[in-house]
Chains A and B, each alone.
Chain A
Amino acid sequence: MEQIYLDHAATTPMDRQVIDAMLPVYNEVFGNPSSVHSFGRKARQLLDEARRTMAKSIHANEKEITFTSGGTEADNLALIGTALANQHKGKHIITTTQEHHATLHTVEHLEKQGFDVTYLPVYENGKIAVNDLKEALTDETIIVSIMYVNNETGIIQPIEEIGQLLKEHQAYFHSDAVQAYGLLDIDVKDMGIDMLTVSSHKINGPKGIGFLYAAEDITINAQQFGGEQERKRRPGTENVVGAVGFQKAVELAMENKEERRNLYLNYKNLFLTELEENDISFEINGDHESALASIVNISFPGANVESLLTNFDLSGVAASSGSACTAGSVEPSHVLTAMFGENNECTTNSIRFSFGLFNTTENVEAAARRVAKIVKRLTS
């Protein structure tokens, strides 16, 4: 039985070209970019090139890119780093109830340090309302952190409007763009984004690397201490080979953005059509028109997440749902709870399918047929 991967929002397979870009670095470039000799310079050169590629991809300059170990670290650095460095301007932070835990648990930590956090509500369409943000802003607000695309529903948030609104406000606008980056056009200057989180492994790059864009004039307190790397914002010997792989992944994503959008959207539509043709009753969570091409979150009335996911996996279809609790058992999704309220059936019967590089027309169709068969069996 062919195993079919429909969980590209969790992580993606590496592109062959990414691996090919990394292998020579493994073989030939081992120097420490901080070293003052030819070995070090060689590594530094690669790192600088990678950084330039990152910067260009979001219309930033290269000094504004800090490499991190991934999205979680970038979120932590952005939120804690700027909160601590700017608390003299106020101690108020605004975020949303549907953020990734990398954001939610970080602001919870800041709450314990004496910061005030406002959590904007999320509506059934899966979006926050800019008006709610307007009303929540105070003179004390120093950070607004709103994800670009929700990782569970794929719903794109009104980032440009938020950016416009905040241009007149002291608060820094941070957006976790881990899901959006690679498929959507992002111009941080134009959009008024002050900080942006990006992760490599979501765009067919290697794991263990990501970056934080932070506009040049922002003061950030480092969260770890050591050498002078990353302009002291993120000490530690750099992951050069990771940066090179990440660079290749970014280049490919930028070159093929539109083509990928169309391709992934086709997969998604094909998947949904196949479900419909099999007479499966399902509902798409959130405003489907506002969803990222690659993600769909589907509620299957009468089923439950644990049975669905376990059955899917045993039949070779890999998908996922909201956050798994540490004991492995699936807790109601905090995102769907934010949208539909507690105890709404769809918080425990919804599955996220996300499409990408692994997929073909054939395997998407095959997966949809397997899914349909299981849903029928579990709900009949």
Chain B
Amino acid sequence: MKSNKDIRVVVGMSGGVDSSVAALLLKEQGYDVVGIFMKNWDDTDEFGVCTATEDFDDVVRVCNQLDIPYYAVNFEKQYWDKVFTYFLDEYKAGRTPNPDVMCNKEIKFKAFLDHAVSLGADYLATGHYAQVRNNDGHYEMLRGVDDNKDQTYFLNQLTEDVLAKVMFPLGHLPKSEVREIAKEHGLVTATKKDSTGICFIGERNFKEFLGEYLPAQPGEMSTLDGIAKGKHDGLMYYTLGQRQGLGIGGAGDPWFVVGKNLKDNILYVEQGYSNESLYSDGLVATDVNWINPDIIQDTFTCTAKFRYRQKDSAVTVTLLENGKVNVVFADRERAITPGQAVVFYDGEVCLGGGTIDEIIKNDQALDYVG
């Protein structure tokens, strides 16, 4: 067997605490660690400043502390073509996309993995909170032990052959311990704030950002029964179940987005958190990926997440043709949103996932969700 020093591990380093500690742990285990910073988005402003500059600077500091080589690679074009274009297309279609899922699938664990392999890497490591397990020759993905940080939701499109080349050194650690390790070693990123939201938007106003790329088409807001409730700023700015920013005052329960009519550019709203129109009892997902297709039966029960950090719900999954699945909820669910990922679990094992396409209620696809 190869000793660790002969095993080259390329670590995707963002300049954050997680990937810093991932590199540190691998270095301590004696691997031949190489740190690589990915630049996927050009947000250089008029003064020539981009957020990547500062992040890369942190990568440099951490790598020098760990005494590992560091490099950068530019995937701006691939990111634009594969992730950002999809992101805009989904918004144009009135859906709420998840660019992180696509970024993991197309960039981090495809283009970047290829790059790592071209550098002679045996493994690619990232600071994701997830675990890879070799189960009798089959590579499985398990949730990270920190329930609150588990990132398998975003990794649902990975395949077994990718997982065979991947390490998640933080999967068995709680986030608090990761910060603790970073502090103990005096890493410059130990107290750095976690990035939030969509990476390329960063701290900016989401509405303004989207408006720069897609023309907003303001229109009517109404109840499902057609009672006018004012104006909306453009359907793309709203997601199902949303309460904020509707501008409907008055007495009674708050108002929520319950649907979109793309054809007539109408935003549907209803009153009350538990409004019946927000509930459904099943969905159809497309582009479904199974990490270990061999263990998947035509119909089976498991648990599922419909949004990141949600608790699991019991579901029954039935395979359809063309990578689609039908998912029936054990208990009805609120505000299932087209464009988001549905991810399936068998206990701690992430089975895979897909993109929510249709919402089902009483055996019918809801026509008002967009």
Report Cα–Cα, A329/B70, bound state, in Å.
11
B302 at the interface (CB under 8 A from A): no
Report the minimum CB–CB distance from B77 to chain A (whole Å). 11
Report the minimum CB–CB distance from B5 to chain A (whole Å). 13
Contact: B73 with A327, CB < 8 Å? no
A314 at the interface (CB under 8 A from B): yes
Q: Mark B44-57, 1 if CB is under 8 A from A, else 0.
A: 00000010110110
User: A327 — which chain B residues lie within 8 A by C-beta?
Assistant: 37, 39, 50, 52-53, 55-56, 72
User: B120 — which chain A residues lie within 8 A by C-beta?
Assistant: 311, 314
Indicate the size class of the contact surface on chain A: 10 to 19
Contact: A311 with B118, CB < 8 Å? yes
B30 at the interface (CB under 8 A from A): no
B299 at the interface (CB under 8 A from A): no
Contact: A328 with B119, CB < 8 Å? no
Q: Mark A349-369, 1 if CB is under 8 A from B, else 0.
A: 000000000000000000000
User: A45 — which chain B residues lie within 8 A by C-beta?
Assistant: none
Report Cα–Cα, A326/B15, bound state, in Å.
14
Instruction: Give the size of the chain B interface in residues (CB under 8 angstroms).
Output: 21
Contact: B72 with A330, CB < 8 Å? yes
B4 at the interface (CB under 8 A from A): no
Report Cα–Cα, A120/B324, bound state, in Å.
59
Given A307-B115, A327-B52, verify A313-B69 contact (CB < 8 Å): yes
Question: B37 contacts which of A313, A314, A329, A377 (Cβ < 8 Å)?
Answer: A329
A251 at the interface (CB under 8 A from B): no
B360 at the interface (CB under 8 A from A): no
User: A377 — which chain B residues lie within 8 A by C-beta?
Assistant: 118
Report Cα–Cα, A307/B34, bound state, in Å.
13
Contact: B72 with A328, CB < 8 Å? yes
User: A15 — which chain B residues lie within 8 A by C-beta?
Assistant: none
A287 at the interface (CB under 8 A from B): no
With both beta carbons as reference points, the residue of chain A lying nearest to B72 in the complex is identified as A328
Report the minimum CB–CB distance from B114 to chain A (whole Å). 10
B167 at the interface (CB under 8 A from A): no
A310 at the interface (CB under 8 A from B): yes
Report the minimum CB–CB distance from A108 to chain B (whole Å). 11
Q: Mark A314-348, 1 if CB is under 8 A from B, else 0.
A: 10000000000011111100000000000000000
Give 9 nearest A-B pairs by CB, closest first.
Answer: A328-B72, A327-B52, A329-B74, A329-B72, A329-B39, A326-B53, A327-B56, A328-B56, A310-B71
Question: Can you spell out 17 A-B residue pairs with CB atoms less than 8 angstroms apart?
Answer: A306-B71, A310-B36, A310-B73, A310-B119, A311-B118, A311-B119, A311-B120, A313-B71, A314-B120, A327-B37, A327-B53, A328-B60, A328-B71, A329-B56, A329-B74, A330-B72, A378-B118
